[in-house]
């Protein structure tokens, strides 16, 4: 009898791995199988003439990767140049958007009349569809007639003929639009982090005579490091894969400064009909995005291990004090 009870308890302690089976099955069907197909097609010489029989297309080995990375595509920009454009776009959008999100979160952290309304207004850019924001940005950055040109001219910061939608200025127009669109995402993460900070710590610091800057520097910011890492990783990955903004904002006459990697892959596949090269570039894109994701997971694992060590030390001290 006791043996049966012990076995039942052991079964209850075992992790219910089978509960993850449906999710794993959906992941294999929706992600794993298409990824394997893309990897296989990246090794084939597929163009518009043999797309219907892509499985029997000539085997090209790594030639698609070499041609895709080094040679200019139908956009006139090579994949490596697009990678550099995407990296600049992603990092600058996150760097510019994070301070805005941080001060916005601080401004609505404490209760005051109208806080709920202000919190709702902060989320307006985030809830507007991406293609609508791209169209509005196209109108706002129009040469001579756009609101941005007139505003900067009124502030004596630039003239009316800045030409934001062509040349190198197009990159900055795209970046500023991305910052305005996505900073509420980081704001939500930071606001949740601020609300998780124990009020007792801030009250104790206030009683000890600490002003707002020491409280912010020594209490608030250190406890938001994990949130910052998560926000930076997720936001950068989102910016890197944003296709809608450059595609809709600049149309088919986009300058080379805004040909990000997703845009280049699209034109390689559906205008140049280099499906093998496009697949190779897509595989390279996945591998590239796996780097920051792996770094974040490694940092999160180290943080959890450090917290576990600190908890063990704390429990040992409590036991020593009780003894």
φ, ψ for residue 240, nearest 5 deg: -65, -35
Q: Which residues contact 171 (CB under 8 A, 6 or more apart)?
A: 85, 88, 89, 257, 258
DSSP, res 259 = -
d(CA 121, CA 116): 9
- What are the boundaries of each domain within the chain? 62-322
Q: Which residue has the higher pLDDT, 65 or 9?
A: 65
Q: What pLDDT was estimated at residue 246?
A: 92
Q: Is the pLDDT of residue 6 over 70?
A: no
Q: What pLDDT was estimated at residue 135?
A: 92
**pLDDT per position as a tens digit, 203-223:** 777 777 777 788 888 778 888
Fold adopted by 62-322: MetI-like fold (1.10.3720)
φ, ψ for residue 117, nearest 5 deg: -65, -40
Q: Which residue has the higher pLDDT, 74 or 128?
A: 128
**pLDDT per position as a tens digit, 14-38:** 556 677 778 778 878 888 888 888 8
**pLDDT per position as a tens digit, 132-163:** 999 999 999 988 888 888 888 888 887 777 88
Q: Is the pLDDT of residue 195 over 80?
A: yes
**Alpha helices in 50-114, H assignment, sequence order:** 63-70, 79-107
Average confidence score pLDDT of the chain: 82
């Amino acid at each position: 009898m006791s043996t049966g009870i012990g076995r039942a308890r052991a079964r209850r302690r075992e992790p219910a791995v089978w509960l993850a089976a449906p999710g794993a099955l959906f992941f294999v069907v929706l992600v794993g199988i298409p990824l394997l197909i893309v990897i296989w097609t990246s090794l084939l010489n597929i163009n518009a003439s043999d797309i219907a029989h892509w499985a029997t297309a000539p085997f090209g080995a790594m030639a698609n990767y070499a041609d895709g990375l080094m040679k200019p595509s139908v956009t006139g920009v090579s994949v490596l140049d697009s990678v550099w454009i995407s990296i600049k776009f992603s990092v600058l959008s996150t760097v510019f958007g994070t301070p805005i999100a941080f001060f916005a979160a601080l401004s609505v952290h404490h209760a005051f009349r109208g806080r709920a309304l202000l919190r709702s207004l902060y989320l307006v850019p985030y809830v507007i569809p991406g293609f609508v924001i791209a169209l509005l940005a196209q109108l706002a950055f129009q040469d001579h007639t756009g609101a941005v040109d007139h505003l900067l001219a009124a502030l004596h910061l630039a003239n009316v003929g800045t030409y934001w939608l062509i040349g190198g200025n197009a990159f900055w127009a795209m970046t500023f639009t991305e910052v305005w669109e996505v900073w509420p995402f980081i704001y939500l993460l930071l606001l949740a982090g601020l609300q998780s900070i124990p009020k007792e710590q801030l009250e104790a610091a206030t009683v000890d005579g600490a002003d707002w800057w020491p409280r912010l520097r020594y209490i608030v910011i250190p406890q938001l490091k994990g949130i910052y890492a998560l926000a930076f990783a997720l936001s950068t990955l989102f910016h890197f894969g944003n296709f809608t903004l450059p595609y809709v904002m600049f149309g088919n006459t986009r300058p080379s400064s805004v040909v990000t990697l997703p845009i280049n892959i699209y034109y390689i596949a559906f205008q140049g009909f280099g499906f093998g090269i496009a697949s190779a570039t897509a595989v390279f894109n996945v591998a590239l995005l796996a780097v920051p994701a792996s770094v974040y997971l490694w940092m999160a694992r180290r943080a959890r291990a450090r917290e576990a060590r600190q908890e063990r030390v704390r429990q040992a001290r409590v036991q020593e004090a009780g003894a």
